[in-house]
Structure 1
Amino acid sequence: MSLIHRLQSLEAERDAAREEAERANLAKSKFLAAASHDLRQPLQALFFLSAALARHVGDHSGRDLLSRLDQGLDTMKGLLDGLLEVSRLEAGVVTPVLDTFAVSEITDALDAAYGKQATEKGLVWRVEGCDGMLRSDRGLLMQLLCNLVDNALRYTDAGVIRIRCRVDVGGGPEAGQLAIEVQDTGIGIPPEHLDRIFEEFHQVGNPERDRLRGLGLGLAIVRRLSQLLDHPVQVRSVQGRGSAFRVLVPLAAARFLAAGTGGAERQPGIDRPRLAVLVDDDAVVLLGLQTVLTEWGFRVVAADGTDRAMDRLAALGRAPDLVIADYRLREGRVGTEVIRRVRERYGAAVPALILTGETGIDTLADASAHGVPVLHKPVTPRQLQAEVDRQLRDASEDTIQAAQ
Structure 2
Amino acid sequence: MKKASDPDGYSVSELLGLGSHSARKSYYPELSARMADVETERNRYKWLFENALHGIFQASLTGGLRAANPALASMLGDGSVDATLARCTTLAALFVNPEDAVEMQRRVVAEGRVAGYTTRLQGRDGRQVPVAMTLVQKPSDDDEPLVEAFVADITERERARERLLQLNARLEGRVQERTLALERVNAELRQEIRERRRIEEELRQARDAAEQANRSKDRYLAAASHDLLQPMNAARLLVTSLLERPLADEPRDLAERLQLSLESAEELLTDLLDIARLDHDRIQPQLENFSLRELTDCLEAEFSSLAQGKGLRFRQRVVDARVVSDFRLLGRVLRNFLSNACRYTSRGGVLLGSRRRGDTLWLEVWDSGPGIPADQRQSIFREFHQLDAPRARDRRGVGLGLAIVERVVTKLGHPVEVRSRPGHGSCFAVGVPLGESCPSPGVAPPAALPGHSLVDRRVLVIDNEPSILASMQALLEGWGMRCLLALDAEEAREATTMPPDILLVDLHLDAGVTGDALVTQLRDYWERPALPAVILTAERGEAWRQRLDEAHLPVLNKPLKPGKLRALLDALLSHDPLA
Partner residue, 1:381: 562
> Within 2, Cα distance between the matches of 1:148 and 1:56?
31
- Pairing partner for 1:206 from 381, 385, 389: 389
Rate the CA distance shift 1:109–1:74 in 2: closer, same or farther, 3 A: same
Query: What letter corresponds to residue 289 of structure 2 in structure 1?
Result: D
Mapped pair 1:221 → 2:404: yes
> Within 2, Cα distance between the matches of 1:120 and 1:300?
27
- Pairing partner for 1:60 from 239, 249, 263: 249
Alignment of 1:19-168 (within 5 A): 19-54=208-243, 57-89=246-278, 90=280, 92-93=282-283, 95-101=285-291, 134-155=323-344, 165-168=354-357
- Pairing partner for 1:280 from 452, 457, 463: 463
Gaps of 5+ in 1: 170-175
Query: What letter corresponds to residue 250 of structure 1 in structure 2?
Result: P
- Give how far 1:292 is off: 2.6
Partner residue, 1:173: none
Alignment of 1:170-209 (within 5 A): 176-182=359-365, 186=370, 188=372, 191=375, 197-209=380-392
> Within 2, Cα distance between the matches of 1:52 and 1:132?
37
Specify the structure having the higher radius of gyration (Cα): 2
Residues 131-190 of structure 1: CA distance to partner in whole angstroms, max 9, x if unpaired?
Answer: 865433454323212313433454566899776654333xxxxxx223444566636367
Rate the CA distance shift 1:95–1:50 in 2: closer, same or farther, 3 A: same
1:319 is paired with a residue whose SS is: coil
Contact persistence 1:156–1:187 (CA under 8 A): no
Query: What letter corresponds to residue 47 of structure 1 in structure 2?
Result: R
TM-score by length of structure 1 reads 0.74
Residues 199-222 of structure 1: CA distance to partner in whole angstroms, max 9, x if unpaired?
Answer: 433444434455952222101210
- Give how far 1:366 is off: 5.4
Partner residue, 1:336: 516
- Pairing partner for 1:319 from 488, 499, 503: 499
> Within 2, Cα distance between the matches of 1:71 and 1:280?
25
TM-score by length of structure 2 reads 0.55
> Within 1, Cα distance between the matches of 2:482 and 2:304?
36
- Give how far 1:355 is off: 1.6
Residues 65-118 of structure 1: CA distance to partner in whole angstroms, max 9, x if unpaired?
Answer: 33333333333332233234334544534543422446x777787677667866
- Give how far 1:342 is off: 0.6
- Give how far 1:286 is off: 0.8
Residues 261-287 of structure 1: CA distance to partner in whole angstroms, max 9, x if unpaired?
Answer: 799999998999433222222222111
- Give how far 1:346 is off: 1.5
Contact persistence 1:168–1:178 (CA under 8 A): yes
**Higher RCO (CA 8 Å, separation ≥ 6 residues):** 1
* Percent of pairs with identical residues: 34
Alignment of 1:248-397 (within 5 A): 248-252=431-435, 256-257=436-437, 259-260=438-439, 273-313=456-496, 316=497, 318-347=498-527, 348-360=529-541, 363-364=544-545, 367-368=548-549, 370-396=551-577
> Within 2, Cα distance between the matches of 1:105 and 1:303?
31
Query: What letter corresponds to residue 379 of structure 1 in structure 2?
Result: L
Rate the CA distance shift 1:125–1:33 in 2: closer, same or farther, 3 A: same
Contact persistence 2:448–2:567 (CA under 8 A): no
Give the alignment's Cα RMSD to 1 decimal: 4.3
Gaps of 5+ in 2: 1-187
> Within 1, Cα distance between the matches of 2:353 and 2:452?
37
- Give how far 1:341 is off: 1.9
Residues 349-375 of structure 1: CA distance to partner in whole angstroms, max 9, x if unpaired?
Answer: 122122223344565465456443322
- Give how far 1:304 is off: 1.7
Residues 303-349 of structure 1: CA distance to partner in whole angstroms, max 9, x if unpaired?
Answer: 22221222333xx3x12222212223334433334323211211321
